[in-house]
Amino acid sequence: MIQFDSKLPHAGTTIFTHMTVLAQQANAVNLGQGFPDFDCDPELLRLMQEALQSGHNQYAPMAGVPALREAVAQQIQALYGRTYDPGTEITITAGATQAIHAAISALVRPGDEVILFEPAFDSYEPAILLNGGKPVPIRLRAPDYRPDWDAVLAALSPRTRAILINSPHNPTARLWTAEDMQMLAEVLRDTNVVVISDEVYEHMVFDGKRHESVARYPELAERSYVVSSFGKAFHITGWKIAYCLAPRALMAEFQKAHQFIVFCTHAPSQHALAQYLPCGAHLQLAAFYQQKRDLFVNAVANCGLRWLPSEGSYFVSASFAHLPVLGEMSSLEFSEWLTREIGVACIPLSAFYHDGFDEKVVRFCFAKREDTLHEAARRLQRLSER
């Protein structure tokens, strides 16, 4: 047997895979991994078939199909008022995780520091570590998960290469406000720190609130990679297709990494999306998902868990710390117990902290059909009967 040291000694199977496998074994309603259990618009499937049949089956251009980049540029201009040049400032990627990985690979050298906020999506830290970087986590805490700007200032150092932000936030379902964006601009003003902004839930912002894209803030946009996802926008997470925006010089470096990671992205999907994007179906997502959030939250209001606010994303979280006996469990134990005994899978927030920091909060995904949400609620009601 050859001997080698793992580059990611602490990484196992992701929590999403773990809970999905457990949900299947236990025949539980899977509100763990974040993905819709309903299909996309048949029109998008028709456009995909058309793309497949009209010969779009060879490599796409490295940066993406020009018509799709054009359509993205127009959408960003209309939504956030910033112009990205489709020729030099937009790249279509194999999902948002790959875009974030490419941005980190383009920027981070051994010993460079990257600031991130925990709970953090699980791919961020491994991407930094694989590039020899040092993750510098700033802890957000229940129930508000507000960023502590003094902690951000204290975390900045001459080695800080980038800061990773994410709003609407997975897993806490919180939004960054205009004041947060101004604070971010202020603390970075005299630095060369690059922002990597994960905005994959940008269209799922509830209660009339506004998505604060870094693209709205010229001072931030000039130093930022903005990443978003067609998978989330059009209920096609399995297509693994997303995009990255950045000013020209940053995008040139991104593409140097991107072209040697995947070279280019699935061509037929890009042709289909280029036709479909201008129809603007995703602009209705806030109302669509707000209705699902409200249906679920109302149905589970009295099940015994303490529900935290969900301002955006696919998710809503709940605390179980106050429950007799169950409150003694770790969040992972509770998630496994809930999956096996109650028949509803969720995700422990402790999995999003590098040190397993545990405030006994679990995340549920409401991007599901109404009958799925009703069935999950019916099962969760059993918690209150115990």
Neighbouring C-beta atoms of residue 356, cutoff 10 Å: 12
CA distances from 187 to 139, 147, 150, 318 (A): 17, 13, 9, 32
For position 310 contacting ligand GLN by CB under 6 A, the verdict is no
Beta bridge partners of 244: 91, 227
Q: How far is the CB of 171 from ligand GLN (least distance, A)?
A: 7
Residue 23 or 47: the one with the smaller Cβ distance to ligand GLN is 23
> How many positions of this chain bind ligand GLN (CB under 6 A)?
5
Residue 93 sits at the vertex; the CA angle it makes with 125 and 189, to the nearest 5 degrees, is: 55
Which one-letter DSSP state was computed for residue 2?
A: -
Q: How far is the CB of 376 from ligand GLN (least distance, A)?
A: 16
Residue 34 or 86: the one with the smaller Cβ distance to ligand GLN is 34
Q: Measure the CA–CA gap between 323 and 96, rounded to whole angstroms.
A: 37
Residue 137 or 231: the one with the smaller Cβ distance to ligand GLN is 231
Q: How far is the CB of 240 from ligand GLN (least distance, A)?
A: 10
Q: Measure the CA–CA gap between 337 and 26, rounded to whole angstroms.
A: 10
Residue 142 or 155: the one with the smaller Cβ distance to ligand GLN is 142
Residue 246 or 365: the one with the smaller Cβ distance to ligand GLN is 365
Site string for ligand GLN, 158-197 (x = CB under 6 A): ------------x---------------------------
Q: How far is the CB of 162 from ligand GLN (least distance, A)?
A: 21
Q: How far is the CB of 89 from ligand GLN (least distance, A)?
A: 25
Q: How far is the CB of 332 from ligand GLN (least distance, A)?
A: 15
Residue 34 or 147: the one with the smaller Cβ distance to ligand GLN is 34
Residue 56 or 203: the one with the smaller Cβ distance to ligand GLN is 203
Residue 86 or 348: the one with the smaller Cβ distance to ligand GLN is 348
Q: How far is the CB of 193 from ligand GLN (least distance, A)?
A: 25
Q: How far is the CB of 14 from ligand GLN (least distance, A)?
A: 6
Q: How far is the CB of 184 from ligand GLN (least distance, A)?
A: 23
Residue nearest to ligand GLN (CB): 34
The maximal CA–CA distance of the chain, rounded, in angstroms, is 61
CA distances from 4 to 1, 8, 13, 127 (A): 10, 12, 19, 20
Q: How far is the CB of 361 from ligand GLN (least distance, A)?
A: 15
CA distances from 110 to 160, 329, 333 (A): 12, 38, 36
Q: Measure the CA–CA gap between 303 and 308, rounded to whole angstroms.
A: 14
Sequence letter at residue 8 = L
Residue 72 or 347: the one with the smaller Cβ distance to ligand GLN is 347
How many helices (DSSP H) and strands (DSSP E) are in the chain?
Answer: 14, 13
Residue 14 or 74: the one with the smaller Cβ distance to ligand GLN is 14
In terms of Cα–Cα distance, which of 160, 236, 230 is closest to 196? 160
Site string for ligand GLN, 11-50 (x = CB under 6 A): ---x-x----------------xx----------------
Which residues lie below 8 Å from residue 378, measured CB to CB, with a gap of 6+?
none
- Asked if 198 and 100 count as a contact pair (C-beta separation under 8 A), the reply is yes
Question: What is the residue-wise DSSP string for 247-269?
Answer: -HHHHHHHHHHHHHHTSS--HHH
Which residues lie below 8 Å from residue 295, measured CB to CB, with a gap of 6+?
366, 370, 373, 374
Question: Footprint of ligand GLN on this chain (CB under 6 A)?
Answer: 14, 16, 33-34, 170
